[in-house]
Structures are given as C-alpha cells and as structure tokens.
C-alpha cells in the first residue's frame, strides 16, 4: 500500500475530486467503490473520468468474497503497508464474521468507532485486492519495463 485516506465529512463530489487527484499522480488501472450508500454518487462522478470503475453492492456473498480474497493475499505474504499505520491494522482487526439477522448465512461486519470508522480502510483495501490475481505474481501475469 502506498497511501491510505479516510473521507470524513466529505460529500460525494469532494470524494470524487480527491480520487481524481490520486489518478493524476499515479497510473491507476483499477478503482473499486462500494455503491450501497454515499458511494453511489461517488462512483457516478468517478465513472466520468475512469469509465471502468468497479462497483460493489454489499451483500453477504460480496463481503465473503472480499474477505476471503484479502485473507488469501495477506496469508500468502503479498500485502505490505507501513508498520506505523496502526489505523490500517485496527481496521483489519475490526472485521468480524457474524450471522445475518435471519440466521441463514454468515456475513462480515464491523462496529463503528472514531478510530476505525466502520473498518473503512479495510473495506477499501479489500476493493483493491479484489483486482489482485488469486495466484499472485506468475511469469504469465508479470512484466518488466526498463527505462534508459
């Protein structure tokens, strides 16, 4: 992870503008946004400058897929972030496996607090990891470019 940001008190236009500023600094090839709440407006604005944005409508199945993929990436040592980012670690640890209200299936939830929000950093990371190949780096999905 190169950067992490929390959007608190920002409307969807401000969030989309911030995402655009990140796209202006980096060569961005993938963006994933939760569209179940405020993110719906954010995704609509981001789609104007990044048409291939991936939308996530949270359901127990989507959350499970995201968590299991992140678990695989982390377990296999393919995630690195600054050790001083305790907010990131706390956000990851805030996510818990629970049973849905109907008691029929498992889902993943996080309590809300001032430190981790609603585990927002972890869920945003999971969106990014969703694009990571399940097998990690192989000779078939890795390239190299040299600049002289």
- Return the closest-CA partner of residue 15 out of 2, 3, 27, 6: 6
Q: What are the pLDDT digits (tens) for 77-107?
A: 999 999 999 999 999 999 999 999 899 899 9
Per the domain annotation, does 148 fall within a domain? no
The 3-state DSSP class for residue 109 equals strand
22/142 Cα distance (integer angstroms): 24
Domain-ending residue, one of 57, 83, 98: 57
Per the domain annotation, does 31 fall within a domain? yes
Q: Helices 60-75 and 120-129, interaxial angle, to 10°? A: 80
Are 53 and 63 in the same domain? no
Quote the number of domains for the chain: 2
Q: What are the pLDDT digits (tens) for 40-74?
A: 999 999 999 999 999 999 999 999 999 999 999 99
Domain-ending residue, one of 57, 73, 92: 57
Per the domain annotation, does 9 fall within a domain? yes
- pTM: predicted TM-score of the whole model, two decimal places: 0.82
Per the domain annotation, does 108 fall within a domain? yes
How do 54-56 and 95-99 pair as beta strands? unpaired
Task: Give the rounded percent of residues in the chain with a pLDDT score beyond 70.
Answer: 87
pLDDT at 6: 87
Per the domain annotation, does 17 fall within a domain? yes
Q: Quick one: CA dihedral 41, 44, 48, 52, positive or negative?
A: positive
- Return the closest-CA partner of residue 129 out of 69, 85, 82, 80: 69
Are 39 and 88 in the same domain? no
- The CB density around residue 72, as the number of other CB atoms within 10 Å, is 15
- Return the closest-CA partner of residue 54 out of 128, 137, 140: 128
141/61 Cα distance (integer angstroms): 27
pLDDT at 67: 95
Are 52 and 112 in the same domain? no
Are 125 and 82 in the same domain? yes
Are 63 and 129 in the same domain? yes
Q: What are the pLDDT digits (tens) for 127-140?
A: 999 998 776 665 55
55/66 Cα distance (integer angstroms): 13
Q: Which of 25-29, 35-39, 100-104, 114-118 has the lowest mean pLDDT?
A: 114-118
Res 143 pLDDT > 60: no
Res 148 pLDDT > 50: no
Are 69 and 121 in the same domain? yes
Res 75 pLDDT > 50: yes
Are 107 and 96 in the same domain? yes
4/123 Cα distance (integer angstroms): 12
Range of the domain at 42: 1-57
pLDDT at 137: 61
Domain-ending residue, one of 14, 35, 57: 57
Res 146 pLDDT > 50: no
């Amino acid at each position: 992870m190169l950067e992490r940001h929390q959007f608190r008190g920002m409307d969807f236009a401000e969030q989309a503008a911030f995402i655009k500023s990140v796209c202006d600094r980096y060569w961005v090839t993938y963006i994933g946004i939760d569209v179940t709440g405020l993110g719906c407006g954010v995704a609509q604005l981001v789609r104007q400058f990044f048409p291939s944005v991936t939308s996530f409508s949270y359901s127990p199945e989507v959350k499970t897929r995201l968590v299991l993929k992140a678990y695989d990436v982390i377990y296999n040592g393919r995630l690195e972030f600054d050790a001083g980012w305790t907010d990131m670690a706390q956000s990851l640890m805030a996510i818990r496996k629970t049973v849905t209200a109907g008691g029929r299936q498992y889902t993943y939830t996080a309590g809300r607090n001032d430190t981790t929000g609603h585990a927002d950093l972890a869920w945003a990371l999971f969106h990014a990891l969703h694009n990571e190949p399940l097998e990690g780096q192989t000779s078939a999905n890795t390239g190299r470019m040299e600049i002289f």
